[in-house]
Amino acid sequence: MAIAVNTDANRAALAGVTSQDVADASLTGTDGVRVGTLREADHLIPLVLRNRVDERSRLSDLRDLYVFSRADGHRVPLRGIARLSPHLEPETIRHFNRFRTITVSAFPVAGAIPSQVLNAAMPKIKAFERQLPPGYHLIFAGEYKEQTKGFADLSLAMISSVIAIYLALVIQFRHALKPLIVFAAIPFGLVGALAALYVMREPFGFTAFLGIASLIGVIVSHIIVLFDFIEERREMGESLQESLLDAGILRLRPVLITVAATAIALIPLASHGGPLWEPLCYAQVGGLLLSTLITLLLVPTLYAFVVLDLKWIAWDGEISSARPAVAEEEMEDMLVNR
């Protein structure tokens, strides 16, 4: 359906406006008037001047438009010099990937982001998609498409980073199983991040996913601080129980200071950062708080379970290998003395 603007030439002439003035006013109230072009790298972005969405969403809004005269700048109501008549007319058949396409779009209200609107409408969209006859498809575009593409790229980068961290830990600890103990608290950090998003009613968008990706690095760094201290005590010949207790006590303050500094610094941005930064901040704060508790409790417990029950890590390997040499030296001294 289209809307025809039938201008009364006599009234327009008496009001001092031209047909071009009427056309500019009607375009401003609908599709918009192109006023310039913004160049960004090798892309040309058109600059379009038009009314706000709430001022051009109804037919009555078009009748209330004002036409500005280019001659002296005075304005005239559009309904006083023109008549709007909606009518049906042949439309251009739009195609996407050589298929006939119907595009449905919307603008979120102030204070909301597109992902929130789509999440609210997704159940009905999925129900509508299941009712489509054979040969019809529903494809999402816009921000949802870019977000899905960004998730795929970021997931690939995250997997590559985890593999690189694992190889670095294998080289550092000279053991293939110990890095898995370091990664043990990561799932709990993810649970804390998702729980914080659920409690604060924030959508799981690109920024939240970015916050979780950076959260993994922070969790691993905290565990390495604790794990490396246990390994140092192990090489010094200290017992397993004492090493775990010393690690939990002596490394408690550095971990808590780091977590508190990060969480406190993110609170102002989470409170006043708007819908773009709030999911990222809440995901990091919730994940840090839960992962810190898990780091101080789960990692020592899991380490003791692997050493004592599974016996995948030999705790007294260095000590037992040194004892025969000491015993042989004592026997030689006794034989010489005799």
CATH number at residue 171: 1.20.1640.10
**Cα–Cα dist 1/23, whole Å:** 18
Cβ neighbours of residue 254 closer than 8 Å, sequence gap 6 or more: 225
Antiparallel, parallel or unpaired: β 95-96 and 99-100? antiparallel
pLDDT tens for 273-287 read 777 788 889 998 988
> What would the mean pLDDT of 58-74 be, rounded to a whole number?
78
pLDDT at 198: 87
pLDDT confidence bin for 57, thresholds 50/70/90: low
Give 233 or 142, the one with higher predicted confidence. 233
CATH number at residue 38: 3.30.2090.10
Tokens 């010949």, located at residue: 237
In this structure, the answer to whether residues 119 and 152 fall within a common structural domain is: no
Residues 308 and 232 in one domain: yes
Which residue, chain included where needed, has tokens 């500005």?
Answer: 68
Same domain, 132 and 180: no
Q: Coil, helix or strand for 25?
A: helix
Q: For residues 70 and 101, state if they share a domain.
A: no
Calculate mean pLDDT across residues 195-218.
Answer: 84
Question: What is the tens place of the pLDDT at every residue in 77-122?
Answer: 888 888 877 777 777 778 888 888 888 887 777 777 777 788 888 8
pLDDT grade, residue 143 (50/70/90)? confident
**157 in a domain, yes or no?**
yes
Domain containing 103 equals 94-141
- pLDDT given for residue 316 in this prediction: 63
Indicate if the pLDDT at residue 331 is higher than 60. no
Inter-residue contact 295 to 185 (CB < 8 Å):
yes
Q: What is the DSSP string of 270-336?
A: HHHSHHHHHHHHHHHHHHHHHHHHHHHHHHHHHHHIIIIII--S-TTHHHHHHHHHHHHHHHHHHHH
- 75-77 and 66-68 as β-strands: parallel, antiparallel, unpaired? antiparallel
For the chain, what is the mean pLDDT?
A: 80
Q: Is 207:215 a contact under the CB 8 Å cutoff?
A: no
Tell me if residue 264 falls in helix, strand or coil. Answer: helix
For the chain, percent of residues with pLDDT exceeding 90: 2
Instruction: Please tell me whether residues 87 and 197 are part of one structural domain.
Output: no
pLDDT in tens, 218-239: 888 888 888 888 888 888 888 8
Nearest-CA neighbor of 170 among 156, 159, 182?
A: 182
Residue 267 CA to residue 180 CA, distance in Å, equals: 32
Q: Is the same domain home to 118 and 162?
A: no
Residue 49, SS3 per DSSP: strand
- Name the band, by pLDDT with cuts 50, 70 and 90, for residue 124: very high
Instruction: Give mean pLDDT, residues 202-230.
Output: 83
Looking at residue 318, its pLDDT comes to: 43
Contacts of 1 (CB under 8 A, 6+ apart): 86, 87, 88, 89
pLDDT for the residue numbered 225: 83
**1 pLDDT band (50/70/90 cuts)?**
low
Least confident range from 55-64, 105-114, 197-206, 312-321: namely: 312-321
Alpha helices in the chain (DSSP H): 9-15, 19-28, 59-63, 78-81, 114-130, 143-173, 178-182, 186-199, 206-235, 240-250, 252-272, 274-304, 317-337
- Per-residue pLDDT at 184 exceeds 70: yes
